[in-house]
Structure 1
Amino acid sequence: MSDGTQSCRHSTLQLETSAYAAECGFKRPPPNKRAAATTKSGRVLKTSVEEKNTAATFPGPLVLPDDELHWDPKAPAQSFRSWLHEKHRNKITSTRKTLYVAAVPNVDPGVDFMQEWTIPNLNAGKNPTKRSKLDPTSAGDVEPLDPNDLIEYLTAFYHGLPVQPFPTPLRFVPWPDDKPKHRTPNPSSPPPKHIALATPSNLTRIRLRPSPHPPFTHQLNLDDILDAAIAMLPPDAYALVLLIEHDMYESPSDDFCCGRAYGGSRVAVVSSVRYRLELDRMQGIEGGHVWPASHCGRFVDGVLAEEEGFEFERDLEVQQVGVEEESPMRAAVDAAGKVEGEESGRGVWFSRVCRTVAHELGHCFGLDHCVYYACGMQGTAGMREDVRQPPYLCLVCLAKVGYAVSTELLGGGEVEKNGYVRERYEALWKVCARWDDVGMFAGFGAWLDRRLEQMTLET
């Protein structure tokens, strides 16, 4: 995964929001409100963990130019208390607790032209008539993702809930109302305006459009796919996520959309195609500074230095985790750096899809986008920000998930909730250990290891 950044040692880490946060108007909730946001009462008498140590485990959101919080700096903060009293929140019950993962639909021969739509044209603008091979700096062609790997990850991430494959295969098929003239043996003929997503009991029309920009030629309508997911939701499902390998769009003004959840309807759809490693250069992703190295102080300073008209002074008070200090974030950066350059394209692809799927399912739990910390529930405004976000849940968001499972479903109290958090971390660590040749998983595993040590010392 070489892009010329491997020489960076990430010797200082950005623990607080960058200097750009003030420029765009984002004000992070102060420490006392962050601590209060983790409690059921919404109040806290004292901060239980000294703030510097907390920051070395759960840093603040970076807030760089063109990030989500740049464009929406007044986004509301959802505390544990406000989440708990949300009127329309879906609670987990003993009869509705299963998370379902629907694998990528098969493509029927009648719509086999769709197969070409998953192949990126990386030479767009150079020779548009020639289909591109993979970027020579990429990891090369990779086999499809295995939904069983994702099920294993989600079983740990949402520990305590059963996670199962959707019981019947899905298929993309022709939409019956489209006239036959839309499909001829001539490969240059335009595709129809619709296809259909078929289950054994339902057929949902899916709109298509030519992609407005490279690297893909056509896109599927996200809203229609979400409708299909709602129609096939099993009665015992708490939520369902449907995987797609095609590019998607949500509104006519969209360039593309990687995923979306209808939390109230308990469904999510995630497209994996934009996360492939060979697209990094085209999408402006700097591989050497994806999470956890996105918190590298040198990297953050470099991004801000390139922002036209913005001047700042580096604040060492918020970049104090040195090479020697043993903290979860330091351990994560060092562990990820050891495998940098050795990662498989499929492993990186899988790690990115995992983070997004877990995020979208979080919305089904009623979680809003997080503004308290750098967190897996942060919103993202594009692919460059997406790969900079962490896979963990922050203290506030984990309080919500922990309560939903250990208290609302299992009937436990505070002691059981703390035990749940530890068991969840241990389950995630085991999954990360299996993928320790991938930067995100190596970093997440090291972070989890140190976080478990912290929890032992705190008890």
Structure 2
Amino acid sequence: MSPNKCKHEQIQLDTSPHALTIPFQRPPHPKRLAAATPSGRVPQSLHPSEQTLAQTFPGPLVLPDDALTLDPKEPPQSLRSWIRSDQRNPLTPDRQTIYVAPFPTISSSLSHLEEQTVPTTTTATTTADRLLKPPQTEDVISYLKAFYHPLPVHPLPTTPSFEPWNKSSKSKSKYIGLKIGNNTVTRIRTRPCPDQVFQGGQLNLDDILDAALEALPGDAYALVMLVGQDLYEDEEDVFCCGRAYGQSRVAVVSCARYCPLLDGDGGGISLNSSEHGWWPAAHCKAFVDSVCGDPGEGGVDREVAKGWPVGAAVDAVVGFEEEEEDMEGVWFARLARTVSHELGHCLCLDHCVYYACVMQSTAGVAEDLRQPPYLCPLGRGDAEVVVRERYLALRRFWYYAWLGRRLEVMDRE
């Protein structure tokens, strides 16, 4: 390992010192325990200590400019309130399938859309970099089958396609069409990319969500559309990676800004330190203290934490830093985390304020990468046997060390 590499000597288990300077108040341990039960109450026999739970599920970091810093009053959602929500769409035998719409094909007359998938930054302009393979739809489907086990996950029967909006459209018209199967073509607004990271411009996210609503199959519980192009939502946005209309059961996610070629080179990722820029390395206490400018509490020695799920994950990432980075794997992992998050909204899961969790809100790509890929105890409304099967299925995709230790802890509980 390079002598300049951080050794992550202490792990941050609680919120950062910065969180104490803003109105954010993480619910205390007893309320977190109660919030994770269907009844809203916890039997005395099931009271794990705060540190025992944090060994697997640390608190949200809440760093400067994070979502909980910008909106510290985001209301918590307990498991009981999720169960009782009248906005939650019921899963039924006739409507339980998650569909994944593949990346749309591109009409030959719209070849400029290919430019919206290739960054124009300095590190992304060499021939070798242009050959970096983006995430594949079939891999996303396999991941979701594990993450949302036992729900069925299938590709949408028809592949979407970008078409000219009308025959008289110029190659770079302000509108293009998105066709899905035999449905009518939906008009998609386009605009130049404000930060010029993608030369071909951007597509409007809301318009694509409208197309997804039109294409939602009758037996679908939810539909997520994958897009390779850069997206925007509002005119004030620089870009947007994804969004869900949760109650309408549709989501759209773009992989464009998650391309590792953008790391440290614009594109919305501004990392204080690239080696701390993703989970679990972001839980290094030295990194948290440096960002906050103030040493705080909530740390534990890494040697002490080796047998814990979070400690095993940090140990694994230290070893990973010594090896050549799998850039295609990193790209896929980033996309998969956001797809599982947006589909969580289709399942009526709100943003989480209790733990570092895949359902945390994020204020940008950098915060996205610091969020863990797992659901915290409040997202585990299923029977323990289902959770175990889910973890076993996920081990082929990510963080074998965290999952292995988590399964060991479950065996002891």
Both proteins in one fold, TM over 0.5? yes
- Residue 350 of structure 1 is matched in structure 2 by 332
Structure 2 SS opposite 1:64: coil
d(CA) in 1 for partners of 2:404, 2:356: 19
Amino acid corresponding to residue 303 of structure 1 in structure 2: V
- Residue 405 of structure 1 is matched in structure 2 by none
Identity of aligned residues (%): 50
- Residue 44 of structure 1 is matched in structure 2 by 42
- Residue 234 of structure 2 is matched in structure 1 by 251
d(CA) in 2 for partners of 1:79, 1:245: 35
- Residue 427 of structure 1 is matched in structure 2 by 393
1:364-379 to structure 2, matched below 5 A, reads 364-379=346-361
The answer to whether the 8 A contact 2:279-2:369 is kept is yes
**What TM-score comes out, normalization by structure 1 length?**
0.84
Structure 1 counterpart of 2:302, from 322, 340, 361: 322
Amino acid corresponding to residue 319 of structure 1 in structure 2: G
- Residue 100 of structure 2 is matched in structure 1 by 101
The answer to whether the 8 A contact 2:359-2:375 is kept is yes
1:132 CA drift (Å): 5.8
- Residue 301 of structure 1 is matched in structure 2 by 289
Deviations 1:36-56 (A, max 9, x none): 001111122435211111111
Q: Evaluate the alpha carbon distance shift between residue 179 and residue 148 of structure 1 in structure 2; reply closer, same or farther with a 3 A threshold.
A: same
Structure 2 SS opposite 1:238: strand
The runs of at least 4 consecutive aligned structure 1 residues that moved more than 3 Å come to: none
Structure 2 SS opposite 1:320: strand
Structure 2 SS opposite 1:260: strand
d(CA) in 2 for partners of 1:19, 1:113: 47
Structure 2 SS opposite 1:160: coil
Q: Give the stretch that moved more between structures: 34-43 or 111-120.
A: 111-120
d(CA) in 1 for partners of 2:344, 2:74: 17
Structure 2 SS opposite 1:13: strand
The answer to whether the 8 A contact 1:67-1:385 is kept is yes
The answer to whether the 8 A contact 1:108-1:171 is kept is yes
The answer to whether the 8 A contact 1:134-1:141 is kept is no
The answer to whether the 8 A contact 1:226-1:267 is kept is yes
Deviations 1:310-364 (A, max 9, x none): xx3432xx10142243100000011122122422211100010010000000000
1:18-417 to structure 2, matched below 5 A, reads 18-46=16-44, 48-123=47-122, 133-134=125-126, 141-176=131-166, 179-180=168-169, 182-183=170-171, 191-202=172-183, 203-217=185-199, 218-281=201-264, 282=266, 283-285=269-271, 286-289=273-276, 290-305=278-293, 312-315=294-297, 318-325=298-305, 326-340=307-321, 341-399=323-381, 402=382, 417=383
Q: Evaluate the alpha carbon distance shift between residue 5 and residue 295 of structure 1 in structure 2; reply closer, same or farther with a 3 A threshold.
A: farther
Amino acid corresponding to residue 199 of structure 1 in structure 2: I
**What TM-score comes out, normalization by structure 2 length?**
0.94
Amino acid corresponding to residue 313 of structure 2 in structure 1: A
1:5 CA drift (Å): 9.0
Structure 2 counterpart of 1:448, from 395, 403, 412: 403
Structure 1 SS opposite 2:261: helix
Deviations 1:265-307 (A, max 9, x none): 11110000100111011222333111111100111111112xx
d(CA) in 2 for partners of 1:427, 1:118: 31
d(CA) in 2 for partners of 1:200, 1:425: 35
Aligned length: 403
- Residue 186 of structure 1 is matched in structure 2 by none
1:168 CA drift (Å): 1.0
The answer to whether the 8 A contact 2:8-2:281 is kept is yes
Amino acid corresponding to residue 320 of structure 1 in structure 2: V
d(CA) in 2 for partners of 1:356, 1:240: 14
Deviations 1:214-271 (A, max 9, x none): 3123110000000011101111111111000111011111111000011111111000
Q: Evaluate the alpha carbon distance shift between residue 5 and residue 386 of structure 1 in structure 2; reply closer, same or farther with a 3 A threshold.
A: farther
Structure 2: gaps of 5 or more residues: none
Structure 2 SS opposite 1:302: helix
Structure 2 SS opposite 1:195: strand
Q: Evaluate the alpha carbon distance shift between residue 192 and residue 269 of structure 1 in structure 2; reply closer, same or farther with a 3 A threshold.
A: same
Q: Indicate the RMSD between aligned Cα atoms, in angstroms.
A: 1.9
